[in-house]
Amino acid sequence: MLFPSKSFHIQRSFQRFVTNYSTLPIKTHIDMKYDLYLPHKSTIQKLPYHCQESIIFMHGILGNRKLYKNDCQILANYLNTAVYAVDMRNHGETENCLPLDYKTLSDDIYHFASDHGLEKPSLIGYSLGAKIAMLAILQNPSNFTSVVCVDNVPIPQPEIIPFLTAFTKSIGTLITESNITKFDKDWVHNAALWMMKYVPDKPTIDYMIKNVTNKSSHIKQLFCVPEKNSLYCKVPVLAISDIINSEVPAWPSDLVEGCKVDNSILFIKASRSGFIEEKGVNAIKKYFNNYDIIELQGTHLIMFERPQAYISAVANWFIKRNKTETSQLADKQLENNF
Q: What are the residue boundaries of the structural domains of the chain, listed by start?
A: 26-157+250-336, 159-247
| pLDDT for res 11 | 43
Question: Cα–Cα distances in Å, from 11 out to 62, 188, 195, 224, 240?
Answer: 20, 22, 12, 19, 17
Residues 6 or more apart in contact with residue 20 via CB below 8 angstroms = none
| pLDDT for res 338 | 39
- Half-sphere exposure (CA, 13 Å, Cβ side) for 59? 29
**Distance between CA 137 and CA 141 in Å, rounded?**
5
Q: Which of 151, 170, 201, 273 is catalytic?
A: 151
For the chain, what is the largest distance between any 2 Cα atoms, rounded to a whole number of angstroms?
A: 79
pLDDT of residue 249 exceeding 60, the answer is: yes
pLDDT of residue 270 exceeding 60, the answer is: yes
| pLDDT for res 334 | 35
Q: Which residue has the higher pLDDT, 14 or 105?
A: 105
Assess contact for 123 and 144: CB atoms under 8 A. Answer: yes
* pLDDT bracket for residue 147 (50, 70, 90): very high
Reduce the secondary structure of the chain to three states and give it as a string: CCCCCCCCCCCCCCHHHHHHCCCCCECCCCCCCEEEECCCHHHHCCCCCCCCCCEEEECCCCCCHHHHHHHHHHHHHHHCCCEEEECCCCCCCCCCCECCCHHHHHHHHHHHHHHCCCCCCEEEEECHHHHHHHHHHHHCCCCCCEEEEECCCCCCCHHHHHHHHHHHHHHHHHHHCCCCECCCCCHHHHHHHHHHCCCCCHHHHHHHHHHEECCCCCCCCCECCHHHCECEECCCHHHHHHHHHHHCCCCCHHHHCCCCEEEEEEEEEECCCCCCCHHHHHHHHHHEEEEEEEEECCCCCHHHHCHHHHHHHHHHHHHHHHHHHHHHHHHHHHHHCC
pLDDT of residue 325 exceeding 70, the answer is: no
Q: Annotated catalytic, 300?
A: yes
**pTM exceeds cut of 0.85:** yes
One-letter amino acid of 176: T
Q: Which of 54, 106, 122, 127 is catalytic?
A: 127
Q: What is the average per-residue pLDDT within 41-53?
A: 60
Q: What is the average per-residue pLDDT within 272-285?
A: 98
**Distance between CA 275 and CA 282 in Å, rounded?**
13
For domain 26-157+250-336, give its CATH number from 3.40.50.920, 1.10.3470.10, 3.40.50.1820, 3.30.70.270.
3.40.50.1820
Strand-strand pairing, 83-86 and 34-37: antiparallel
Proportion of the chain above pLDDT 90, given as a percent:
82
Q: What is the dihedral angle through the alpha carbons of 314, 203, 178, 25, rounded to the nearest 10 degrees?
A: 10
* pLDDT bracket for residue 203 (50, 70, 90): very high
| pLDDT for res 321 | 87
Q: From 188, 180, 184, select the one nearest 208 (Cα to Cα).
A: 188
